[in-house]
Amino acid sequence: MSMIAVFIGRLFIALIFIVSGINKLIHVNDTTALINAAELPGWLAVPTGLFELVAGICIALGIHTRLFSILLAGFVLVTILFFHRDFTNPEQAMAAMKNLAIAGGLLCLFGYGNTRWSYDALRRKRRDEIAAHEAELRAARAEGRAEAVDAPVVVKRPWWRR
């Protein structure tokens, strides 16, 4: 049951970034103006939108979940510093708290790492299967060498010495 909750939670967190990334890319001018208002370079609008979109898709599919969750957690915390730092404004304080909660969820996702129903879990399972198969091969080879040592040595004499 807990893995189902982790899976659904992973999709919900990913959805936030997928939708946000798409909105940033569709409304590039608005995003550029918002970034410029925070005294940051406006050209960051497209890379930010692409990062959110790609990271959200990767988290939804479970591709490098731990990497993208820690990157997004850092990204969300940095946005608090640049965009929601006026804590006297109730809306900004609430947005900062929302981002803090999202960062907390991303850190939990980082902690869980490779969960079921993800590409990372499939890759780990396949890697474990290959390792088990290689261990079996090594054991079989070692057993074959041991049998070869225990086998009686038959020396063939050339036909002229018989």
* Degrees, nearest 5: CA angle 145-147-151: 120
The pLDDT assigned to 30 comes to 96
Question: Which residue stretches of the chain have pLDDT < 50?
Answer: none
The pLDDT assigned to 112 comes to 80
Distance CA 56, CA 108 (A): 16
The pLDDT assigned to 21 comes to 97
For the chain, which residues make up each domain, given as ranges?
Answer: 2-117, 120-150
- Quickly count: other Cβ atoms within 10 Å of residue 106's Cβ: 27
User: Which amino acid, residue 25?
Assistant: L
